[in-house]
Amino acid sequence: MQAAVFFDRDGVLNEDDGYAFEPSKIRWIKGAMEAVRAVNQSGYLAFVVTNQSGVARGFYAEQQARGLHAWMTDQLASVGARIDEFAYCPHHPEGTIAEYRHACICRKPQPGMINELVKRHSIDIGRSILVGDKQSDIEAAAGAGITGHIFRGADLEAFIVPLLLQLKQLR
């Protein structure tokens, strides 16, 4: 079983400007790409788990969310980093698009996205962490049995490197 680092997207990897879906408007958090590369180089899988209620609200389509993730994948590859899988929840109980208007087990604070990735990739939850910027991220991690860490700093690489060292001690 492999260990993994789960990242929230908006507010952790990129600035949270509200309903981000256009690559031209994405601003990476300082050290974000390097943090993902550090995770990769440490031998951990890297995942993104992100609520994307903008789909349910009609602000953008799932295709645009996937397009942004493809762009992020290319950007990360340019520095030798990779996300092993992006998971997102397009649902919201107050959405304006009927097919996405419902409560679900994948929308954080529910642990559904994390649980699916854990199952699909045979993740060792005892040696894995989640990095988020909201309490709902931490609740989702706890619901999946993973330790969550709140990122409120200015440099994600400086935040993640000590966590990776702690994880190595659990091996």
User: Where in the sequence numbering do the catalytic residues fall?
Assistant: 8, 10
Task: Characterize the bridge pairing of strands 147-150 and 45-51.
Answer: unpaired
How far apart CA 21 and CA 7 sit, in angstroms, is: 17
- What are the residues facing 56 on neighbouring strands? none
Of 5, 50, 47, 43, whose CA–CA distance to 160 is shortest? 5
Q: Tell me which long-range contacts 104-107 makes (C-beta under 8 A, separation of at least 24).
A: 107/51, 107/53
Phi, psi angles (nearest 5°) of residue 149: -130, 130
